[in-house]
A = this chain, B = another copy of it.
Amino acid sequence: MEQASVTIADVARLAGVSKVTVSKTLNNSGRISQETRERVLKAAKDLGYTVNYAARSLRGGRTNLLGMVVPELISPYFTDVARAAAEAASRVGLDVGVFTTSRDQKREQERIGMLQSGLADGLLIVVPSDSASFLVSLEKSKIPVVLINHFGAKTHLPTVCADNYHGARAAVEHLLSLGHERIGFVTGAKESTQAQERLRAFKDTLGARGLLDPTLIAEGNFTQRRGFEAGQDLLNHALPPTAIFAASDATAFGVIDAIKDRGLRIPDDISVVGFDDVLAASQIHPTLTTVSHPIEDMNSTAVRLICEMLDGESHKDTLIEFPSSLVVRESTGPRKA
């Protein structure tokens, strides 16, 4: 198994040229005669040569690898983001390696340090929580860093995010327009800045209409299981809501389970709105009305920013906010007469 790797020196020897010539040939730099080029290429192929990225990186070259750091890969939201980033990067010839932090600050730091030191050309950080100290160290990164969906602590790092506030607001207004007045809410994880934005929008929108009932706010944590429990709690309310807004699609799936479990129909008896528009939202039945982040656009923008920074451009303080949009599907309907 342990097999000495083939280096350009080996290729050079076989082709009867110098290492430099091999390097130039392989990288299409410098002037190489057609004949030599072919000889080198053949030798490289025969030997099964592959570049050593560690060496290239050390020399100051690119690895064509982007590191993406996410808290975990259980929530469909993070896997959707990871997928979108991988696709966007792929289009410009870059790879994405996804690293999970398990929300462990120490590991987070180590992982990022590792990626920064030669392994990756750039970093995409999906920051769920508001960890200022962490961001400060990132600002000194020697490779480009872009934050995705970060809210909260001020930072000079380029950031791409979705407008959670107005998206959530649109969701609540949609329910209001359907005649709902008792609207329940299942929150996201407390430490998530995105969840905070969504809750704030919920309170603001209902509060402005004098319809805010704090007892209709149940605590969630972005998981389906917790959504199920929170849904049950809301249904057990003395005066249950006629519509429930869940802070994430996964949560909404749990709420839907709870409602079906109770023998109630969606949206006839009760409406449900999610947030994220993950893939499954359009696949379940009834299909879920939800708030869509333009995840594809956000990630291709993030990748673009990285590329521009690699080309020397500065994106200090760049903040690109994408509008969220409400996607109305089958899970919402008029309040029961």
Q: Measuring CB to CB, which residues of chain A are less than 8 angstroms from any residue of chain B?
A: 1-5, 48, 50-55, 57-58, 63-65, 67, 72-74, 79, 82-83, 86-87, 90, 95-100, 102, 107, 110-111, 113-114, 116-119, 137, 139-142, 144, 223-225, 228, 253-254, 257-258, 260-261, 279-280, 283-285, 309, 314, 316
Tell me how far the C-beta of A203 lies from the nearest C-beta in chain B, rounded to whole angstroms: 28
- Asked whether, in the complex, the Cβ of B1 is within 8 Å of the Cβ of A141, the reply is yes
Do the beta carbons of A117 and B53 come within 8 Å of each other? yes
Contact of A261 with B283 in the complex, beta carbons under 8 Å: no
Selected from B54, B67, B74, B96, the residue in CB contact (under 8 A) with A79 is B74
The docked-state distance in angstroms from the alpha carbon of A316 to that of B1 is 8
For residue A95, which residues in chain B have a CB less than 8 angstroms away from its CB? 99, 107, 110-111, 114
- CB pair B5 A50 closer than 8 Å: no
Complex: chain B residue closest to A107, CB-CB: B90
Contact, CB under 8 Å: B86 / A100: yes
Complex partner residue of A97 from B52, B98, B137, B257, CB under 8 angstroms: B98
Q: For the complex formed, measure the closest distance between the CB of A292 and the CB atoms of chain B, giving whole angstroms.
A: 17
Q: A57-B54, A118-B55, A285-B228 are in contact. Are A73 and B74 (CB under 8 A)?
A: no
